[in-house]
């Protein structure tokens, strides 16, 4: 019954969106010209949107300024192996892509969910599923309760829901909970302090179904990586076989 209701809701939403597109053609986010039927970025601006990143560490996703191979592990992850198997980042957090995320996250740009979700989906299909990795379930990184009340939505949950619909994977958004808001700014702390700071901020609420599962953590922006490491540590402690991270962006120098 619930599955039928969800399908009906998706169908009605698609019909409503089609009607809106007919009455009010979508304008491109960048050039304000007609964006066509798919998304809010026209093909011309999409081709000019740079998603370039340097070779990055397979474990934490941090870019290297050196000439590294496609699958290298940074010195930090070699010294302190994280609880994450691999991290997949769509683009560098800068310029036009940064502005897209800011509009989506801070300016109530919910209409960009589909556009940004496509980037995550393409990365998943090419780099995760394309390499033969099997994922059992998706978990969005939880938001601070105060920010959730102020913003009115959790942008990471919206992105995760988009992925779930197209990949037919379950979402366990209640497994992790943000429980503390008095933690310090991550950027001012050393590595060990960042992890301890982030660990205090999250709690595992359910764990019986995680035993032996491969989990994909979904985030919008990875900054220091401490938040994802803290969440992954909790998931692994509950029996998760492996934890991967998929995020829209990460800055070159957090």
The reply to whether 63 and 119 lie within a common domain is: yes
The reply to whether 175 and 243 lie within a common domain is: yes
The reply to whether 143 and 99 lie within a common domain is: yes
The reply to whether 98 and 13 lie within a common domain is: no
The reply to whether 3 and 118 lie within a common domain is: no
Name the domain count of the chain.
2
State the pLDDT at residue 10.
Answer: 47
Specify the residue for token string 């995680």.
210
> How far from chain centre, in Å, is Cα 28?
23
State the pLDDT at residue 182.
Answer: 56
Average pLDDT for residues 19-30, to the nearest whole number? 58
The reply to whether 153 and 201 lie within a common domain is: yes
**How far is residue 169's CA from residue 209's CA, in Å, rounded to a whole number?**
15
The answer to whether 210 and 240 are in contact (CB under 8 A) is yes
CATH (domain of 139): 3.40.50.2020
Length of the chain: 254
pLDDT at 12 exceeding the cut of 50? no
Q: State the residue range of the domain holding 4.
A: 1-48
Closest CA to 189 of 177, 200, 204, 176: 200
The reply to whether 37 and 110 lie within a common domain is: no
Q: Specify the range with the lowest mean pLDDT, choosing from 12-16, 46-50, 113-117.
A: 12-16
Give the pLDDT confidence of 78-102 residue by residue, as tens digits: 999 999 999 999 999 999 999 999 9
**How far is residue 155's CA from residue 113's CA, in Å, rounded to a whole number?**
8
State the pLDDT at residue 120.
Answer: 96
pTM of the entire structure? Answer: 0.84
| % of the chain residues with pLDDT over 70 | 81
The reply to whether 102 and 43 lie within a common domain is: no
The reply to whether 73 and 18 lie within a common domain is: no
The reply to whether 203 and 95 lie within a common domain is: yes
State the pLDDT at residue 236.
Answer: 94
Give the pLDDT confidence of 156-192 residue by residue, as tens digits: 999 999 999 999 999 999 999 888 655 545 555 565 6
The dihedrals phi and psi of 253, each to the nearest 5 degrees, come to -130, 90
The reply to whether 11 and 132 lie within a common domain is: no
The reply to whether 234 and 139 lie within a common domain is: yes
């Amino acid at each position: 019954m619930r599955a039928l209701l969800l399908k009906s809701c998706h169908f009605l939403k698609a019909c409503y969106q089609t009607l809106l597109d007919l009455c009010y053609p979508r304008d491109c986010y960048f050039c304000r010209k007609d964006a066509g039927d798919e998304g809010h970025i026209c093909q011309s601006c999409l081709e000019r949107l740079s998603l370039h990143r340097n070779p990055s560490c397979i474990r934490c996703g941090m870019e290297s300024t050196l000439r590294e191979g496609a699958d290298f592990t940074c010195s930090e992850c070699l010294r302190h192996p994280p609880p994450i198997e691999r991290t997949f980042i769509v683009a560098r957090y800068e310029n036009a892509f940064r502005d897209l995320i800011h509009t989506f996250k801070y300016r109530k740009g919910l209409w960009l969910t589909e556009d940004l979700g496509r980037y995550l989906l393409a990365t998943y299909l090419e780099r995760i599923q394309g390499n033969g990795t099997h994922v059992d379930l998706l978990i969005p990184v939880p938001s601070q309760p105060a920010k959730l009340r102020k913003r009115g939505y959790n942008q990471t949950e919206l992105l995760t829901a988009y992925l779930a619909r197209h990949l037919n994977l379950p979402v366990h958004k209640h497994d992790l909970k943000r429980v503390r808001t008095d933690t310090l700014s991550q950027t001012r702390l050393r590595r060990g302090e960042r992890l301890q700071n982030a660990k205090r901020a999250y709690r595992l609420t359910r764990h019986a179904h995680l035993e032996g599962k491969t989990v994909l953590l979904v985030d919008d922006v990875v900054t220091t990586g401490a938040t994802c490491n803290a969440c992954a540590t909790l998931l692994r402690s509950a029996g998760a076989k492996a934890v991967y991270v998929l995020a829209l962006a990460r800055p070159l120098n957090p």
